[in-house]
Amino acid sequence: MRRLLLRAVGAEEEVEEEEGWHQLYPSHIPTSPLQKALLAAGSAVMALYDPYRHDMVAVLGETTGCLALPNLRDKMKHHPEGYRILQERPCIRLSTLDMSRLRGLPDGSLGREYVRFLEDNKVSPDTRMPPKFVDDEELAYVIQRYREVHDLMHTLLGMPTNMLGEVVVKWFEAVQTGLPMCVLGAAFGPVRLSARKLQVLATELVPWAIRSGLNASCILNVYYEQRWEQPVESLREEIGIFPPPAVRM
C-alpha cells in the first residue's frame, strides 16, 4: 500500500530503493491500479474514435485481461502441448521463420497457406505490439502468443482481413479466450458494416464462429511452429474448427 502511494505521488526513488525497479520484462511499464483503470477507459474511447489506433486495442486487451489471461495460462498449463509452449516460449517472428522453406511446402499445408496469407495481405508478423501493462511476466507471454497466433487464426478460419473477416475472427476469439477486448471488438465491430454484410454475418458467419469456438480446443495449446507441414484441413479437424461456410466475403 505504501509502495502504491509512494509511486502515486512520483516518489520513484524511494520505491526503487525498497524493492528494486520491478520491470518484469523489457517492454514492461509498471502501472498503478488507477493508471490501469484510466488506460482501459481511455483506450476504449480512443479505439472507437480512431479505428486506426491498433495500439489502443492492444492496450485495452492488456488492461482488461486480468481475469481472462490467468484462465488462458491455466488452460495452457494443463495441456501437454500448451505446457511445452509455456516452457519453450516460441515466438513467431520473421527472424525465426524460415520463409523460403515454408514457401516450398505443398499447397494446403499450414506453412504454405500462412505464407500465402502474409504475402496476399502484405503483412508481417513483426508488427505486433509488445505487451506493456501486464504485471506478470508469464501472462505477458500469453498475451503476446495470442497476438502472434491471431494471423494463424485467419488462415485456419479462412477469413480475409477485411472488416467482415475481422469481426468473424473476433467472435471466434471471444468465445475461445474470453478476453474482454475480443468481446468488445466482436460487439462493436459490426457497426461499420453494410447491411448485406451484416446479414451474412448474422445468419451464417457468427453462428458458425460461435459453434466452432465452443467446439474447438484452446487455440493457444497448439504448437504451430511444429506443424507447418500439416494440412490445414487436418489441423482444423484436430482442433475442432468446422469448415467455413462458403460465402462471398
Partner 1 sequence: MAAVRLCRCRCRALLSRVPGAPRALRGLAAGPEVHFGFQSVTEEDRREKIFRLFFSPPRGDRPQRGNTTQRLLRHERFEVNCVSFSCPYFFCSLPVYQVFESVAKKYDVMNDSMTLGIHRVWKDILVHKMNPSPGTLLLDVAGGTGDIAFRFINYVRAVRERQLQRKLKHHQNLSWQEIFENYQEDKSDSLGDSQVVVCDINREMLKVGKQKAQHLGYSKGLSWVLGNAEELPFDDDMFDVYTIAFGIRNVTRIDLALEEAYRVLKPGGRFLCLEFSHVSNPLLSRLYDLYSFQVIPVLGEVIAGDWKSYQYLVESIRRFPPQEELKAMIEDAGFFKVDYENLNFGIVAIHSGFKL
Instruction: Please give the residue ranges that form the binding site for partner 1 (CB under 8 A).
Output: 7-10, 12-13, 27, 29, 32, 34-35, 38-39, 42-43, 45-47, 50-59, 117-118, 121-124, 126-130, 132, 147, 150-151, 154, 161-163, 165-166, 169-170, 185, 188-189
Question: Minimum CB separation from partner 1 for residue 86, in Å?
Answer: 23
Question: Minimum CB separation from partner 1 for residue 157, in Å?
Answer: 12
Which of 126/233 has CB closer to partner 1? Answer: 126
Does residue 133 contact residue 146 with C-beta atoms inside 8 Å?
A: no
- Annotated binding-site residue numbers for Zn(2+): 150-151, 154, 166
Cα dihedral value 53, 55, 61, 64, nearest 10: -80
Q: Which residues contact 171 (CB under 8 A, 6 or more apart)?
A: 186, 205, 206, 209, 210, 213
Which of 163/175 has CB closer to partner 1? Answer: 163
Taking the CB of residue 210, how many other CB atoms lie within 10 A of it?
15
Does residue 155 contact residue 222 with C-beta atoms inside 8 Å?
A: no
Longest dimension (CA), the chain: 61
| CA angle, residues 117, 217, 71, in degrees to nearest 5 | 105
Question: Minimum CB separation from partner 1 for residue 207, in Å?
Answer: 20
Which of 31/212 has CB closer to partner 1? Answer: 31
Q: How far is CA 249 from the centre of its chain?
A: 22
Which of 27/71 has CB closer to partner 1? Answer: 27
Taking the CB of residue 146, how many other CB atoms lie within 10 A of it?
25
Question: Minimum CB separation from partner 1 for residue 189, in Å?
Answer: 6
Question: Minimum CB separation from partner 1 for residue 50, in Å?
Answer: 8
Which of 86/153 has CB closer to partner 1? Answer: 153
Angle between helices 163-177 and 206-215 (to 10 degrees): 30
